[in-house]
Amino acid sequence: MLSEHQILLLQAFNDELPKDVTLTVVVSFDRDEAGLRGAEDACLKLIRAAVECRFLWPTAKQLEAAGCEATKLRIRTDYLQCVVSESAHELISQANYPPEIAVLANSFSISADDILTDDLWRATSRSRRFRAFSRALSRLRKVLGNDAATQLSMSVQSAAPVQLATPALTEWVAFVCDGTGDKSLPYSDEFLNSA
């Protein structure tokens, strides 16, 4: 978890950089439920603080392609030690996502693999996906207010083609942009709980 003091230090460091330099914080926690919650929390704090960030989560398929046994590698230092330096660079660049993915993943499941692996995502019911979209959008709105949809769209536009191929992110942006997220608001848990 990032403390408020750490966020202030990152903001101060970011503000002191030359105009043509960008600070990007890569958020990487363990590949378990607690790690996903921590990653979401850190990403939301960094988004609120206007510090550029990315979410690192290598899927089981990506770890296996890098020569690791994914089922035994939950701790981030373990999977980074498992790969050789050339594979580590490739793994990190392929497993690097917009921070909103951490928010969506935590709203959907206990593992980001469930939204980053096409087969798992497509096998999930539409209602469960839409419920996760609404929850994640609500969390973003708590941080960004009415700019949440715009920020999500901008984040997707700046993402690399590998991450754009993620069906979950593409579908979430479509959900937000076509206004489905606003239509479902009166029936959402967030609305009913705050009424």
CB 111 within 8 A of CB 31: yes
Residue 69: predicted pLDDT? 75
Q: Per-residue pLDDT tens, the chain, 195 aa: give them.
A: 889 999 999 999 999 999 999 999 999 998 889 999 999 999 999 999 999 999 999 888 888 888 777 666 667 777 777 777 777 888 888 888 999 999 999 999 988 889 888 888 999 999 999 999 999 999 999 999 888 888 888 877 776 665 555 788 888 888 888 765 555 455 555 544 544
Find out whether 94 and 162 touch, Cβ atoms under 8 Å.
yes
Q: Hey, which bits of the chain come out as E strands? A: 24-27, 52-56, 96-97
Looking at residue 182, its pLDDT comes to 55
Dihedral angle of Cα 109, 169, 122, 88, to the nearest 10 degrees: -80
Instruction: Provide the pLDDT for residue 132.
Output: 94
Supply the pLDDT for residue 194. Answer: 44
* pLDDT reported for residue 161: 60
Strand partners, 24: 52
Tell me how far the alpha carbon of residue 17 is from its chain's centroid.
25
pLDDT at 67: 79
Task: Give me the residue spans of the domains in the chain.
Answer: 4-57+95-184
Q: What pLDDT shows up at residue 191?
A: 47
